[in-house]
Amino acid sequence: MLSMFQAFFEAGDPGDTQERKTLFEKLHLKIHNTHLFELHFAQYDVVYIDFSSLRGAKNKKDFDAMFGIQLYGEVIRHEELGHFKNVTEPTDLEMIDRMSSPDNDTNTLLEKAFFELSRILHNATGRKILVLVDEYDTPVSSAANEEVYNYVCPELSPPGV
């Protein structure tokens, strides 16, 4: 389901955007031919993470490694889309480099990865960012043991909870 939201909201090159627009027109959704469709279709940079791949993490190290792979894939996808070509701030370039390494240090990245990636994307493209997290509850509901559960819960909870 979230992949459909990604296809709807994500900005892209004109050819890709037109192809996706045609697809949504053929689905005859109620939103089609409305002001909201035109206002929001292909207007955002989307950060898409699927937490189902984190199922079965046996410890904090496993969880960090699995999350790092997700983060790595999303950063590489945005690099390939050219979203970082206008990034010049050294600290942002360093953060992109850290996140785009399959062996990134997720110990320091996890707690701020979505924020930093969203901030850098917004500064680079000027577009609003939409973060889609599929299977958000998977890390908590399938935590293999108390260590993973105690690590994941505070990281994924909204501030102040």
- The pLDDT tens digits for 16-51 are 899 999 988 898 888 888 999 999 999 999 999 888
CA distance 10 to 126: 13
- Using a cut of 0.75, tell me whether the model's pTM lies above it: yes
Write the DSSP symbol of residue 132. Answer: E
The span from the CA of 12 to the CA of 89, in Å, is 24
Counted residue by residue, the chain has a size of 161
